[in-house]
């Protein structure tokens, strides 16, 4: 697909769950928490969608797809639905930056501060201040704020330059279209950016980012992340997902 004036948009990955299986995800599949449901009346389109069970005091796991060696720009679009009884927060979707010679270098790095050559990662999350709360970025990058011990990092802090445009909340019981586009910086320059859209409207943007100091880091994984945080949640809940598409840039309609 080529967009006039915008360059070529390459499709990297498509998952509509119509196969009825999760074979396209090499990491994280857990049949006790993730299942493909056949119900044309409930799917966002087609006849099937992914239903994820968050266990009480726990979470729904994750699904990761790798794109090695990686890209300097990736855009992901998908649909998510919170059930009417949903309570609290969750991570939603992530784009990971691992080393081009190690697809795992960005995974399992909670609390670790990136150094510019080991990893970066960014999620969209919904906060615990609502059911669900507002959406925002949750990002690991070299200049991120440290915790008081000066060695621990959590992605909950921005740098004050990110912009959010309310409303940022997702209604329960309906499908919402979520989009995230990350563009990496040129090493030595702070020209990286990330943007998200909710139901076609730009709601979050953050520019001037430095994700990396070397081209050894690239965008090379997408992850559906079903994580409510260290304490989990008080009850079993379900989240629905459909029609995920990853391309090299956001298509212009």
**Residue 93 falls inside a structural domain:** yes
**Residue 50 falls inside a structural domain:** yes
Q: Between residues 253 and 236, which one has the greater pLDDT?
A: 236
**Residue 17 falls inside a structural domain:** yes
The answer to whether 123 and 94 have CB atoms below 8 angstroms apart is yes
Identify the CA nearest to 126 among candidates 95, 87, 163. Answer: 87
**Residue 215 falls inside a structural domain:** yes
Q: Whole-number mean pLDDT of the chain?
A: 95
- Give this prediction's pTM: 0.95
**Residue 253 falls inside a structural domain:** no
What residues form DSSP beta bridges with 175? 81
| Tally of domains within the chain | 1
Measure the CA dihedral 64/31/124/138, to 10°. -80
Residue 232 has pLDDT above 90, yes or no: no
| Cα 22 to Cα 242: distance, rounded to the nearest angstrom | 12
**Residue 71 falls inside a structural domain:** yes
Residue 6 has pLDDT above 80, yes or no: no
Query: Can you tell me the mean pLDDT for 189-195?
Result: 99
pLDDT in tens, 86-96: 999 999 999 99
The CATH number for 17's domain is 2.60.120.200
Identify the CA nearest to 90 among candidates 239, 249, 246, 241. Answer: 239
pLDDT in tens, 130-170: 999 999 999 999 999 999 999 999 999 999 999 999 999 99
**Residue 147 falls inside a structural domain:** yes
Identify the CA nearest to 239 among candidates 250, 220, 226, 230. Answer: 226
Give the residue numbers spanning the domain of 136: 2-247
**Residue 252 falls inside a structural domain:** no
């Amino acid at each position: 697909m080529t967009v006039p004036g915008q360059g070529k948009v390459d499709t990297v990955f498509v998952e509509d769950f119509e196969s009825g299986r999760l074979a396209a995800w090499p990491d994280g599949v857990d049949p006790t928490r993730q299942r493909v449901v056949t119900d044309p009346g409930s799917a966002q389109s087609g006849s099937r969608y992914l239903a994820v069970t968050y266990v009480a005091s726990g979470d729904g796991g994750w699904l990761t797809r790798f794109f090695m060696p990686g890209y300097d720009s990736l855009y992901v679009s998908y649909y998510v639905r919170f059930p009417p009884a949903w309570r609290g927060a969750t991570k939603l979707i992530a784009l990971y930056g691992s080393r081009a010679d190690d697809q795992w270098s960005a995974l399992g790095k909670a609390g670790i501060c990136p150094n510019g050559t080991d990893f970066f990662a960014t999620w969209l999350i919904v906060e615990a201040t609502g059911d669900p709360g507002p959406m925002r970025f949750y990002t690991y990058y070299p200049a991120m704020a440290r915790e008081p011990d000066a060695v621990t990092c959590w992605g909950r802090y921005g740098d004050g330059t990110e912009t959010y445009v309310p409303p940022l909340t997702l209604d329960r019981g309906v499908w919402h279209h979520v989009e995230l586009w990350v563009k990496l910086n040129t090493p030595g320059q702070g020209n990286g950016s990330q943007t998200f859209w909710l139901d076609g409207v730009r709601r979050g943007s953050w520019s001037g980012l430095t994700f990396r100091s070397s081209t050894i880091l690239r965008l090379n994984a997408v992850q559906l992340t079903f994580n409510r945080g260290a304490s989990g949640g008080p009850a079993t809940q379900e989240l629905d997902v459909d029609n995920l598409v990853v391309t090299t840039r956001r298509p212009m309609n």
